Chains A and B, each alone.
Chain A
Amino acid sequence: QKEVEQNSGPLSVPEGAIASLNCTYSDRVSQSFFWYRQYSGKSPELIMSIYSNGDKEDGRFTAQLNKASQYVSLLIRDSQPSDSATYLCAVSKIIFGSGTRLSIRP
């Protein structure tokens, strides 16, 4: 079992809709969780960090964490074509998932 699991996608979402990205992790004692966006040919950039159970909102992005279920998600509201990228879930700073490719169709 991989330490951080993500659906590889591609996930296709119409422009203006909500994109929902999911991630599960195996280490129950993990304390810090991150979502990174990576455009093709570019380096990852941080979108959201979350450390406690519940929701954390930042603009169009909402991260959700459920430690009991070992599950973290990222919601993107009012999806834009510029949101088309690979989204990487990371647990602590050193364990990354393989990423979910998101495509926003106009």
Chain B
Amino acid sequence: DTGVSQDPRHKITKRGQNVTFRCDPISEHNRLYWYRQTLGQGPEFLTYFQNEAQLEKSRLLSDRFSAERPKGSFSTLEIQRTEQGDSAMYLCASSRDRGNTGELFFGEGSRLTVL
């Protein structure tokens, strides 16, 4: 499978615990994006990387959230001290570097439930 893969697909955690999601983009794609999606809403942008550089972060990305993309390959999104409001689908997408053009390829997402 050469698509975007995300792990884990589902995560249930208790409030206050830390969680980490991993995203493996399509190998030749140098841009990687993270989004959060809740029921009935569109994806909300969190952050994106070009290679290993984190170029933009949304205001939604509070100090409890951190993302990395070491060596410009896979990326991780960590949420510290989870809150019930963090319950959502976390989507990763990748694309070639074509400025604002070009297609986003989404992974299947990581669903987080905070009890």
- CB closest residue in chain B, given A2: B42
Chain B at the A interface: SS class: loop
B30-60 near A? 1/0 per residue, CB < 8 Å: 0001010000111111001000000010000
- Asked whether any CB of chain B lies closer than 8 Å to the CB of A49, the reply is yes
Please determine whether B91 and A43 come into contact, CB atoms closer than 8 angstroms. Answer: yes
- CB closest residue in chain B, given A88: B42
Please determine whether A43 and B33 come into contact, CB atoms closer than 8 angstroms. Answer: no
Interface size class of B (residues with CB under 8 A): 20 to 34
Please determine whether B42 and A98 come into contact, CB atoms closer than 8 angstroms. Answer: yes
Please determine whether B101 and A49 come into contact, CB atoms closer than 8 angstroms. Answer: yes
Count, A-B residue pairs, CB within 8 A: 49
A53 to chain B, nearest CB (A): 16
Please determine whether B106 and A43 come into contact, CB atoms closer than 8 angstroms. Answer: yes
CA distance A90 to B43 in the complex (A): 9
Chain A residues within 8 Å of B, Cβ to Cβ: 4, 8, 31-32, 34, 42-46, 49, 51, 88, 90, 92-99
15 residue pairs from A and B, CB less than 8 Å apart: A44-B91, A44-B104, A44-B106, A46-B103, A49-B101, A90-B42, A92-B100, A94-B48, A95-B45, A96-B42, A97-B42, A98-B40, A98-B42, A99-B40, A99-B41
